[in-house]
A and B are shown apart, each in its own frame.
Chain A
């Protein structure tokens, strides 16, 4: 049934005026024009918020204890690095809906960053830059290659990640050239491996892979 809102001078079948909200009838509209919505706000899930809160709790408590007890020796970095890493591990790698490829790249970056922090906190002997980062990059490039070989149908999805890994493969070489790292063989090995992966991709690429490369790099 149609009602008239004398305040706004309009007609409506709704129970109250859509413009001024005055109630016009005691009965609900017979056929509603819109549903009652299910709230679907993109919020962090409850689990993710708990993890974040626990992490903040641990880190802040440790900073306080460290500063109050042994301010000369900052052992708190041994805690911050792994705790931040665990938060990222749980909230991103485990709980998020991101693509496996992006999770893998994220892991490589997060692990490398954590190890650099631990390394710096424990006397800065650069073992992370010399050995661990090159090793991690090689391993993850190998992993992406294996996934693509095992699921050839999915290679299109992984191509971007594989290319990113190849680019990351040259990072240890850059670290060496910029004198941040001075052990050559792990960096050189990673660079070579990335190059071989790239050559392999080009040599074994069929027409559709070339097509995929064209669309990803169109400008």
Chain B
């Protein structure tokens, strides 16, 4: 039990800021075509954990930084009994920082964000579902796109790619202004609402506006927030959406740990603004912010403070206080909502018929009490909103805009109102 890992650059932040109302736990699920069998799932999990030792870890406490250390206990699959993205209690998970849950047809993994990001979690669930199908006696073929348990773990998979790509170029970081903050009556449990749409219809629609699915849906959300919250207000605050960007698309990396950046896009909407204008604005902002040069700067800034010699020797509890303060006063206040799109997922052909659709649930936080996640597989696009406030008006307005203005068919389901 000697293997240990430093927590990657982004991961450190999640340890500092997570609390009951900000679990830093995200969920990726695959909805299978038949009910999930717990025994087969457990066998598949045992296989996958052997192949991915960087996930078979527990948290260790250090003086200057916490770390992840090999966990020799067993990670058990659980029948879903708590709300999505609930904080991970190490006692409940034998020290692991992830959980694997199932309920009827849903097979879900929930990761504490310090372990990995959407890409890492995706690789994990794809492999898990593959081996689950194998243990269930289905004939599925490995086409080389999935993790193979026969392969040795690669050191590229445990890279802290932030450190690999950091440069000395400091540049000037543009000052982020405060954004409109969504408020509502706080509730203890996370409510998720999923809207299932035809992926190609949304793609066509976005294309007809000359933009991408992410930019289009972000613009629709901004419009919905404006209509529901700021239309009849004197002060038209800026509505900004935080969009996580996968840095692997810009800086080649095979890491399964965190490697993403967040770009904030948004605007001050006014009465006569049309959806077309919002889409145009968001598209151009995304194009300029999600460029290698700007992402390099954001990466550099991110790594910088942690590598400052003075900061490194400050005991961790003080550092955590500082990070929490920065996060609450700057990070959280510069966005109204996070909207993450992990894209269209490709599975080997032989696996596709066993999967109906997928879900990506992004945990809400205290200052950002509604967050959205989307994922597409085959021709099913699912947009999921997780919230810790009672009011569903924004989510309703968002889906209404899609159905009424854009004539899309939306199938909605939720863990609320049953």
Contact = CB atoms under 8 A, between A and B. Distances in A.
A43 to B, nearest CB: 10
A34 B192 CA distance: 10
A19 B63 contact: no
Contacts of A28: 418
Nearest to A31: B104
Given A9-B404, A11-B412, A31-B104, A36 B64 contact: no
A99 to B, nearest CB: 10
A31 B411 contact: no
Contacts of A38: 81-82
Interface residues of B, number: 49
B411 A10 contact: yes
Contact of B416 (A18, A208, A218): A18
B69 interface: yes
Contact of B65 (A8, A33, A219): A219
Contacts of B411: 2, 10-13
A9 B412 CA distance: 10
B195 interface: yes
B417 A16 contact: yes
B327 interface: no
A2 to B, nearest CB: 7
B46 to A, nearest CB: 23
B51 to A, nearest CB: 23
Given A38-B82, A215-B62, A33 B106 contact: yes
Interface string B89-126: 00100000000000111100000000000000000000
Given A20-B396, A32-B104, A37-B82, A216 B62 contact: yes
Contact of B195 (A10, A42, A160): A10
A103 to B, nearest CB: 15
A13 B188 CA distance: 26
Interface majority SS (helix, strand, loop, mixed), chain A: loop
A33 B415 contact: yes
Nearest to A211: B2
A217 B64 contact: yes
Query: Which of B82, B396, B399 is most buried by chain A, counting CB atoms within 10 A of its CB?
Result: B396
B309 to A, nearest CB: 9
B354 interface: no
Interface string A1-32: 01000001111111111111100000011011
Contacts of A41: 188
B221 interface: no
B413 A12 contact: yes
B150 to A, nearest CB: 29
Interface string B379-393: 000000000000010
B105 A31 contact: yes
A178 interface: no
Given A9-B403, A208-B2, A215 B67 contact: yes
Interface string B177-189: 0000000000011
A189 to B, nearest CB: 27
Nearest to A37: B83
Interface string B70-84: 000000000111110
A18 B412 contact: yes
A97 interface: yes
Contacts of A33: 103-104, 106, 194, 413, 415
A28 to B, nearest CB: 8
A156 B71 CA distance: 13
Given A31-B104, A97-B91, A21 B417 contact: yes
B404 A218 contact: no
Given A20-B396, A42-B20, A14 B404 contact: no
B399 A10 contact: yes
Contacts of B67: 215-216, 218
A40 interface: yes
A20 B188 CA distance: 20
Interface string B38-58: 000000000000000000000
Contacts of A152: none
Interface of A: 2, 8-21, 28-29, 31-42, 97, 156, 160, 208, 211, 215-219
Given A18-B414, A37-B415, A218-B62, 11 more contacts: A8-B399, A10-B410, A11-B411, A12-B412, A14-B418, A18-B416, A20-B392, A21-B417, A31-B105, A39-B189, A41-B188
Interface of B: 1-2, 4, 6, 20, 60-65, 67, 69, 79-83, 86, 91, 103-106, 188-189, 192-195, 312-313, 392, 395-396, 399-400, 403-404, 409-418
26 contacts: A11-B409, A12-B412, A13-B411, A14-B413, A14-B417, A15-B417, A18-B392, A18-B413, A18-B414, A19-B193, A29-B418, A32-B418, A35-B81, A36-B418, A37-B82, A38-B82, A40-B82, A42-B20, A160-B61, A211-B2, A215-B4, A215-B62, A216-B62, A216-B63, A218-B6, A218-B62
